[in-house]
Amino acid sequence: VRRIRWGILSTANIGRAAVNPAIQASANGELVAVASRDGDRAREFASKWSIPKHHGSYEALLEDPEVDAIYIPLPNSLHLEWTVRALDHGKHVLCEKPLGLNAQECRTMGQAADRNGRKLMEAFMYRFHPRTAKLLELVRSGALGKPRSIRSTFTFRLTRPDNIRLRPELGGGALMDVGCYCVNVSRTVAGAEPVEAQAWATWTPSGVDAELSGALLFPDGLVARFDCALDLERREVYEVGGTDACAMVEAAFLPGPGRPVILERRGRDEVRHEVEGLDQYRAMVEHFGSAILDDTPVRYSAQEAAANMAAIDALYESARTGGRPVPVRPAREA
């Protein structure tokens, strides 16, 4: 069985902490190279994490003929440039969320994948956890009745003032960093695209949203409310309110290795759906590897990422105008 030879573009924290080990543990991939803007950093990183090759520039990784796929965990403002360059070098790309700074960037990246005949996917790993599939099964089977309300939260407290998330020129902000999960899970559960967005934010002195609360209106009247923050105690939950029952999901996006649960409540009855635990990063990496090896479509296209960003574009426009309702433009036009 051929294995995908992966290269990592940068020595980012999320690579070190989650995705690099997931690639190294994957059944259909191996981590063969890392690149950094700094040659010494690349060498130290490679030696510490048992990566055979290191490159002192991102370009050198793109030129490496022994690399099939590149994982890009760069600051958000650099996703477009390096994804398109990697695709144009004939590499497949798994890029961190959010795929682009807006819907237009996601579309441009999708076009680059199409013209090069290469795979591209946004690394929203929670979608590969079996609990997400279980939740969707509960919703789609009608077990909750008709879903009418979705509420989600992703907040945490940033401690380092030099973090990329606080820098507007790098695509920082709470909505870009963690609110994008709330938007994603809301659209996924709704199984539709929102038509209108409203949001309110508080801004850091540097000009990114520190806290943002928003609402997305879907065509059938379902409303998804959410809040996200870079300066609040950690909370990470979502719930789906249906006409017959509701479902609550805690540790919503980072459930860890244990067996996570979904609580289904109906009046006084509560059913605990316990789901198999797994490394969702590894599941994502293996899915992407299989799509390359079998030449099958990735489960989540650049068009899907563009739709997420179309909602985020509208939410930001609303937040910047004090909560004015803003239509969400269809992703192909946004």
Q: Is 222 in the site for ligand NAP (CB under 6 A)?
A: no
Task: Write the binding mask 9 to 48 for ligand NAP: x where contact by CB under 6 A, - elsewhere.
Answer: -xxxxx---x-----------------xxx--x-------
Under rule CB under 6 A, residue 123 binds ligand NAP: yes
E strand spans, 73-167: 92-95, 120-122, 147-157
* Residue number, 42 or 139, with CB nearest to ligand NAP: 42
Residue 122 sits in the site that holds ligand NAP (CB under 6 A): no
Integer CA distances (angstroms), 165 to 74, 134, 208, 275, in order: 11, 32, 8, 32
Q: How many chain residues bind ligand NAP (CB under 6 A)?
A: 22
CA angle 154, 241, 227 (to 5 degrees): 20
**Is 74 among the residues that bind ligand NAP (CB under 6 A)?**
yes
As a whole number of angstroms, the distance between CA 181 and CA 12 comes to 20
Handedness of CA 31, 35, 39, 44 (dihedral sign): negative
The enclosing H or E element of 138 equals helix 130-140
Q: Choose the stretch contacting ligand NAP; rule: CB under 6 A; options: 5-13, 226-234, 290-298, 303-311.
A: 5-13
Q: Closer to ligand NAP at the Cβ: 10 or 301?
A: 10
Residue 84 token pair: 């398109």
Closest by Cα among 17, 27, 26, 120 to 69: 120
Stretch that binds ligand NAP, among 8-16, 20-28, 152-160, 199-207 (CB under 6 A): 8-16
| Per-residue x/- track, 160-199, ligand NAP (CB under 6 A) | ----x-----x------x----------------------
**Least distance (Å) from ligand NAP to the CB of residue 41?**
5
Q: Which is nearer to ligand NAP, 98 or 242 (CB)?
A: 98
The C-alpha atoms of residue 224 and residue 175 are separated, in whole angstroms, by: 15
d(CA 286, CA 299): 12
Residues that bind ligand NAP (CB under 6 A): 10-14, 18, 36-38, 41, 73-76, 78, 96-97, 123, 125, 164, 170, 177
